[in-house]
Structure 1
């Protein structure tokens, strides 16, 4: 829709339209008639030139190889078969329209074809029925003192209207559809004479109605639920709003009706008059208990609990469906308990919490006796989950505070808390059936096919878990955990959500399935020799670190300016030359740029150091004054450094000397949806305004705490459900936490490249001053002898040590960082292993 646009679309749908176009404010009946004629009757489209369906389908086959989306739509509307197969095409991948579009990498054509599969069906399209209801209800006013009988009507266009009688032409009042937020039962307001009472809530007030019977009340509630907009809360800036009953801790069996609003990781509840009572900080949640886990109340199916370290909130909805809706919204604020598809993941599509827990266990716990069988400390497990909920990417597991059994407990709890198990509900019976009926060889073939049918995140996570279990088994002589032990622990955890509900007969086949996955891991997941070799080298490096720790017996060594860490700098690109150098907490970016450009004898240029995320999805140009180690630590492990000419500064240079920055229209990603706001840099702050008047601020962030990244993270860029509105994108990361905001990252798009450059230039100037990210012409001299000598003595290969290189401890650092065990995740290991003195000896 974005690619085609309204103008081009209307040129087709309204080509022969003789009547006037619709204007704002036109009556509903006229609007409905126009829209039905335009889309349902297709009254004004250009007619096909006599071709039959096969001819149109052949044209479609040719069209989808190009980017002409409008022509594809025309052919589909005129009757082309989206599933047509070319009988003369020998290549099976090019026989269908979908295959041709994929072959030519026409991603929007693929999307359009997949969305229109229904057009190939001979069944007529079902037109949804208009939602309407009429009848008598009792209504009370704002004072809630008296009830009056009113004739009420509801339809999905006009909303609710009420009259004195069925024949009265004068409407006494109405509630527009767009004003409706939620509907709830009434308890506190019940009058013995009017027991069947419900409340329709809007942003400004609640409307009380009462039916003659419970059945009539239920029918009104169900009908109203069909028309209440799902995005009503979102338009007010919330994730969810509505009435819930909160259990009174001071009154056994007592419930208080409260108005709740959910935004980010904050759940606030109010009295009826919307007077704020308290806030529940969802960052501190250690557990969310869904309805079927709550006992002791007659309304158990409608109840759920929010467990904090020091308090438990018991809440009750009107219906089980509403309770589940609230639970789903609350789960989205957590790492634990939300679907895998919505988790924060690494570039390898593995949830960050899983990645970090496995990394910790593989570094410290492969030889721990009873790993995964022994329980961890429950309080510490909850603290770990709390840390991941608050900031999964930035959270580090302290090896002195937590044991491997604590971390293993987090991993098991994470998989048990998933609403859909790792191997998915939809494929569960297929996995069991394969183990029941097939012969051994056929079992493996079908098992591999089922693994390939898993969603990408599930498949990659399963591969990582099974590979990890094999590494645990390799240390069975010390950890006493063989394949049988691990299968019995992980089969129910990965295949089902409620292991207690699985029959013993099925449990047997679950064990068989998991056992074969572990046994035939390399074949099932197509693990290549290079991948296996890399994993082996990685493990050897970790073992050397641990051996050094045991020999040194040094703990709690603080970070000092004398500590040095080996890091690799790529020259010009990831595929280019490399340079190994040591950095300390005090090393500046400018020092490294000068050292590398001089020692590598690069041609003179304005070089800059780029901090590149992933495979180049986005990057940040570092200032010469930035501390390099701090910059690396702020982004996590999936990054690398690249030295190349400062083209980034050249692109924003024309805007660096402008004074007084006007606002720019910016698309901001909020809760996975893009919204348009005016934004500007005012003084030393980045400001996001509510509207074009630029008077009401929505967000104000200190520029000094922001890092500006060009490009876009892969997960956002490839989100086809919520595509980016433009190609002019960048993102901001706040290094010290957004005050008043839970999301530490802002994803932004501008309408034009010039607006993008203006806004970035303003941010850079506010943070670094008028010179911004300008870099000097380097190198200015040939490499000095000491640098040349230094370069020859540093080897980034752990397999080719030199006698004169340096102390053993430094070799361990080289090993650790060479195998991509980056500073961010292993800093705490290094700080505890090596003393500051050893870093200065060489």
Structure 2
């Protein structure tokens, strides 16, 4: 946000190409590091990504409707037309456009430091989004309108604006502290909820690279002055709203890698483990026990960013304290696959879009 000439300056072509290749292969797996990736290389990669999109963000010939709307003289009518056109975009295009314009809106708020006001950003991103190489001035005008009227066009709530601004200010303070030597660079600010996802339950927490789920849990309880009573088992959970699934983090898990992999529909919440007492009673009487039986199994393969799956098959499983083994059938002697228990991530809930056969 404070980098002078951001998006106007070009990064190194070789670094942009390799970073774009990494993002296309596995976007969530990419870790941006300040020493390794220069801010202009990252900015250039973002521009290249939009420029290379097959149909463009505004989906091919329908983009002309957006460009025609820039000619409307009545400001209210123009905003209303943009809102209508936004509703016609495919869901992923609409979400991507909002994320991008939200980012550019934040960038121009810091134009005093980065020298990139709304007009300058529009000059860069108009040709990028419409893949016109600057031949159509209306593309720049459209981007300028979208940034200037971001709140009205995308129907952004005050609460959402305030939350983002608070997060940005927290990051700014953290960076100032890092540059003055009072704090480790690399710490990360994130929002964690207590018991449920509500504004009044959120906490902005600084997450060092070494912080574990147990330490984060104690940090939240300490901030809210909650005293742990006997047989109260508090844990940190990773919650996925879209799939209505959650995963209690192991107390020794590092939080930072989890945060880097969370999607927009996921968040962290600290709450009581209601079933812990029953689990402890069960485990006390089941030393060295194992479970076995038939299950429906489906494997997902992430090839070049495509989530390809093989369909469901009946498989025989054996689970013990050390590993989970998969056999083609009950009579098989050699397992097809084997996973150490410590590497498993078990989610509680329902993955709605999976459509299992039973």
Identify the TM-score tier after normalising by the shorter chain: 0.7 to 0.9
1:725 aligns with 356
Contact 2:67 2:142 (8 Å CA) reproduced: yes
The match for 2:341 is: 703
Give distance in 1, aligned partners of 2:214 and 2:17.
39
Q: Are 1:678 and 2:304 an aligned pair?
A: no
Work out the CA distance in 2 between the residues paired with 1:451 and 1:554: 43
Q: 2:139 aligns with which of 507, 510, 527?
A: 510
Q: C-alpha deviations, 1:510-560, integer Å up to 9, x for none?
A: 222222212221211112222222222222222222322333398879x9x
Q: State the distance in 1 between where 2:79 and 2:324 align.
A: 56
**2:303: which partner in 1?**
none
Q: For residue 406 of structure 1, report the CA deviation from its aligned partner.
A: 0.8
Conservation of the 8 A alpha-carbon contact between 1:381 and 1:406: yes
Q: Structure 1 residues 381 and 665 mapped into 2: Cα distance closer, same or farther (>3 Å)? A: same
Question: Which whole-Å CA distance do the structure 2 matches of 1:440 and 1:486 have between them?
Answer: 21
Secondary structure of the 1:388 match is helix
Q: Secondary structure at the match of 2:270?
A: strand
List runs of 5+ in structure 2 lacking aligned partners.
301-307
Distance 1:452 1:581, change over 3 A: closer
Say whether 1:607 aligns with 2:245.
no
Alignment of 1:618 with 2:253, yes or no, is no
Is the 2:235–2:270 contact (alpha carbons within 8 Å) kept by the matching residues of 1? yes
Q: Which of 231, 256, 269 in structure 2 is aligned with 1:641?
A: 269
Aligned pair partner of 1:627 in 252, 257, 267: 252
Please show how residues 310-709 of structure 1 align to structure 2 within 5 Å. 366-389=1-24, 391-436=26-71, 440-496=75-131, 499=132, 504=135, 507-552=136-181, 570-571=194-195, 573-574=196-197, 585=210, 589=214, 596=221, 600-601=226-227, 604-605=230-231, 607-615=233-241, 617-623=244-250, 626-628=251-253, 630-631=254-255, 633-634=257-258, 636-637=261-262, 638-647=266-275, 650=278, 657=286, 659-670=289-300, 671-672=308-309, 674-681=311-318, 684-690=322-328, 693-694=331-332, 697-709=335-347
Once the two structures are TM-superposed, the CA of residue 439 in structure 1 deviates from its matched residue by 5.1
Report the secondary structure of 1:531's partner residue: helix
**Secondary structure in structure 2 of the residue aligned to 1:664:** strand
Pair 510,695 (structure 1): closer, same or farther in 2 beyond 3 Å: farther
Cα 1:420–1:698 shift into 2, 3 Å: farther
**Residues 386/555 of structure 1: CA separation in 2 closer, same or farther (3 Å cut):** farther
Shift of 1:407: 0.8
The 8 Å contact of residues 293 and 317 in structure 2, kept in 1 or not, is answered as yes
Asked if structure 2 preserves the Cα contact closer than 8 Å seen for 1:674 and 1:724, the reply is no
Instruction: After TM superposition, list the pairs within 5 Å mapping 1:261-276 onto structure 2.
Output: none
Q: Contact (CA 8 Å) 1:448, 1:524: kept in 2 or not?
A: yes
Question: Aligned in 2, Cα 1:451/1:552: closer, same or farther, shift over 3 Å?
Answer: same
Q: CA 1:488 to 1:686, structure 2 compared with 1: closer, same or farther past 3 Å? A: same
Structure 1 residues 697, 430: closer, same or farther in 2, change over 3 A? farther
Distance 1:586 1:645 in 2: 20
TM-score by length of 2: 0.77
Residues matched between the structures, number: 339
RCO higher in structure (CA 8 A, sep ≥6): 2
Question: Contact 2:316–2:330 (CA<8 Å) still a contact in 1?
Answer: no
Q: Verify the 8 A CA contact 1:434 1:443 in the aligned structure 2.
A: yes
Q: Any gaps of 5 or more consecutive residues in structure 1?
A: 1-365, 727-750, 752-842
User: How far apart, CA to CA, are the structure 1 residues paired with 2:143 and 2:267?
Assistant: 34
Q: 1:652 to 1:414 in 2, by over 3 A?
A: farther
Give 1:451 deviation, angstroms.
Answer: 1.1
Q: Separation in 2 of the partners of 1:694 and 1:669?
A: 20
Q: CA deviation at 1:678?
A: 0.6
In structure 2, what is the Cα distance between the partners aligned to 1:524 and 1:579? 29
Question: Does structure 2 conserve the Cα–Cα contact (< 8 Å) formed by 1:610 and 1:619?
Answer: no
Instruction: Give the Å deviation of 1:682.
Output: 5.3
What secondary structure sits across from 2:347 in the alignment?
A: strand
1:606-638 deviations in Å (ceiling 9; x for gaps): 524141324483222344xx325x155335454
> After alignment, is 403-412 or 539-548 more displaced?
539-548
Contact preservation (8 Å) 2:170, 2:189? no
Q: Which has the larger helix fraction?
A: 2
Deviation at 1:699, TM superposition (A): 3.1
The 2-side partners of 1:582 and 1:523 are apart by 32
Relative to structure 1, the CA distance from residue 491 to residue 674 in structure 2 (aligned partners, 3 Å threshold; closer, same or farther) is same
User: Per the alignment, do residues 403 and 589 of structure 1 end up closer, same or farther by CA in structure 2, a change over 3 Å counting?
Assistant: same
Q: Normalising by structure 1, what TM-score?
A: 0.36
1:92-131 equivalence runs, <5 A: none
Residues in 2 aligned to 1:544 and 1:696: alpha-carbon distance in whole angstroms: 56
Relative distance call for 1:455 and 1:476 in structure 2 (3 A) is same
The Cα shift of 1:408 comes to 0.2
Cα distance change of structure 1 residues 480 and 468 upon mapping to structure 2, 3 Å threshold: same
- Tell me how far apart the structure 1 counterparts of residues 10 and 24 of structure 2 sit (CA, whole Å): 21
CA distance in 1, matches of 2:40, 2:332: 53
State the secondary structure of the residue aligned to 2:57: coil
* 1:739-758 pair list within 5 angstroms: none
Does the CA contact (< 8 Å) of 1:466 and 1:517 recur in 2?
Answer: yes
Question: What SS class does the counterpart of residue 397 from structure 1 fall into?
Answer: coil
CA distance in 1, matches of 2:216, 2:51: 49
**CA displacement at 1:490 relative to structure 2:** 0.9
Distance across 2 between alignment mates of 1:430 and 1:679: 56
Corresponding residue for residue 305 of structure 2? none
Structure of greater Rg: 1
CA contact (8 A) 2:317 2:325 kept: yes
